[in-house]
């Protein structure tokens, strides 16, 4: 089997989710205190990983039964591999079975069919298939609810909190390297800090979560390589002694765009994290995409994070976006370990003149405003760019910036929780 065929099997819905059994549960469920089948009310069913999203039509008299319906289904679907059920409710105006009259048109939740009643009933009885929430078919888009009742929000379990996320069995600490906007040197900082942490004695891995613009393979000199797959798990690629994996290793050449909607992108990220044979690591560095979107929220709810490092330039526009990132991490209880001010100054290679092209004091402002450390400043230096483009980052090349990266890495190490000694050790 080729690596691409294996990859398709890995990126299909979770192997632990039994779609046939899900279908049977949804088709066999009867609404409480009635003989109405749930399948007659379902307009949309999507699966993302081990999360099931379902949209149903209800009527005013059934409002008190919604929580029971949700709980019954959640219990039954748990045996099918579903860990979380999100049930969206569209409340109709008429009791079930009432016909359509001309003066009812325009009322919320009401719909009429121009087809014969028998044909319409036959179509209603067909349960939508359980599909991967990747947007592969137009059916999911067409079934999207148009009139959700604001007074009846979706019934769902509370989103997982960072404190409740179980620790990875082989990864001691996960550190996110994030920025509010692109182009501030976040990926370059990620690879150099990872190499600096390794040089200081830690076992380090790198996960490229920048799904739409993966650049880690180029910077670590392994672009074009694809990972082996062992027992439906990726084997990370080695780069300078580190375990590394990026979506860029899976898409072939560097020209292939990753045009995925949010659920598909976050699902791919979770599989890169969970379905990879990571070795025992002291630190996994995750290179985040810019912004504060789906991937950031998914990480906060499903991956145990030790802390985040914010990369910014002194420029006002970059600072405004960096602030949004800090605020997001504060809301999801992820500690911000500090700020790295990139491109803080430029020294002319010909005359030695120093100039602050992007302004001054940006990192200091963030540090003071949010009471977080300023981990360090990095210059706008052509060597950093040239070495990263050549797949030999500054810490490996030993250029002028290498010592700065090592100093920042030491400040990060000082903030890591101390590893607990095994109970059976006597020294």
Binding site feature residues: 180-187
Q: Which residue numbers belong to the known binding site for ATP?
A: 180-187
| Nearest CA among 372, 368, 172 for reference residue 279 | 172
Alpha-carbon torsion angle 289, 251, 394, 346, nearest 10: -50
Distances in Å between the Cα of 256 and the Cα atoms of 211, 219, 235, 249 are 12, 18, 22, 11
CB 357 within 8 A of CB 346: yes
What span, in angstroms and rounded, lies between the C-alpha atoms of 361 and 344? 8
The token pair at 144 is 């999207």
Q: Residues with Cβ < 8 Å from 72, sequence gap 6 or more?
A: 29
Nearest-5° Cα angle at 216, 214 to 218:
100
The token pair at 9 is 């099997």
CB 285 within 8 A of CB 206: yes
For 242, list phi and psi in degrees, rounded to 5. -105, 150
| Nearest CA among 237, 334, 345, 222 for reference residue 288 | 334
What span, in angstroms and rounded, lies between the C-alpha atoms of 12 and 53? 17
Alpha-carbon torsion angle 291, 297, 300, 306, nearest 10: -10
**DSSP class per residue in 361-417:** -HHHHHHHHHT--EEEE----HHHHHHHHTT--HHHHT-TTHHHHHHHHHHHHHHSP
| Nearest CA among 78, 67, 57 for reference residue 32 | 67
Q: What region does 364 belong to: left with phi over 0, alpha with psi -120 to 50, or beta? A: alpha
């Amino acid at each position: 089997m080729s690596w691409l065929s294996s990859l398709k099997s890995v990126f299909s819905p979770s192997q632990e989710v039994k779609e046939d059994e899900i279908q049977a549960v949804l088709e066999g469920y009867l609404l409480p205190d009635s003989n109405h089948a749930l399948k007659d009310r379902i307009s949309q069913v999507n699966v993302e990983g081990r999360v099931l999203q379902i949209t149903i039509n209800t009527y005013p008299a059934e409002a008190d039964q919604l929580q029971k319906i949700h709980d019954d289904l959640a219990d039954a679907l748990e045996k099918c591999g579903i860990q979380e059920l999100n049930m969206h409710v569209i409340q109709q105006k008429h009791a079930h079975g009432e016909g359509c009259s001309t003066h009812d048109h325009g009322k919320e939740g009401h719909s009429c069919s121009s087809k014969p009643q028998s044909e319409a009933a036959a179509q209603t009885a067909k349960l939508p298939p359980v599909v991967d929430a990747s947007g592969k078919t137009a059916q999911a888009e067409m079934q999207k609810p148009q009139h959700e009742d604001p007074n009846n929000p979706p019934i769902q379990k509370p989103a997982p909190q960072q404190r409740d996320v179980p620790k990875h069995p082989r990864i001691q600490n996960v550190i996110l390297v994030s920025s509010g906007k692109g182009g501030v040197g976040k990926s370059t900082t990620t690879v150099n800090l990872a190499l600096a942490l390794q040089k200081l004695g830690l076992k380090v891995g790198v996960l490229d979560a920048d799904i739409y613009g993966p650049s880690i393979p180029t910077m670590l000199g392994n672009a074009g390589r694809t990972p082996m797959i062992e027992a439906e798990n990726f084997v990370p690629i080695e780069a300078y002694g580190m375990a590394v994996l990026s979506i860029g290793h899976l898409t072939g050449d560097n020209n292939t765009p990753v045009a995925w909607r949010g659920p598909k992108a976050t699902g791919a990220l979770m599989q890169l994290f969970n379905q990879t044979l990571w070795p025992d690591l002291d630190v996994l560095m995750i290179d985040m995409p810019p912004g504060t979107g789906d991937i950031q929220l998914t990480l906060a709810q499903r991956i145990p994070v030790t802390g985040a490092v914010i990369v910014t330039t002194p420029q006002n526009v970059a600072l405004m976006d960096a602030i949004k990132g800090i605020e997001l991490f504060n809301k999801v209880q992820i500690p911000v370990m500090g700020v790295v001010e990139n491109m803080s100054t430029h020294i002319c290679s010909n005359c030695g003149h120093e100039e602050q092209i992007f302004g001054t004091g940006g990192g200091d402002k963030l540090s003071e405003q949010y009471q977080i450390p300023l981990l360090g400043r990095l210059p706008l230096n052509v060597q950093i760019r040239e070495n990263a483009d050549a797949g030999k980052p500054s810490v490996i090349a030993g250029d002028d910036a290498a010592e700065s990266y090592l100093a920042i890495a030491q400040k990060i190490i000082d903030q890591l929780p101390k590893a607990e000694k095994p109970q059976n050790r006597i020294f």
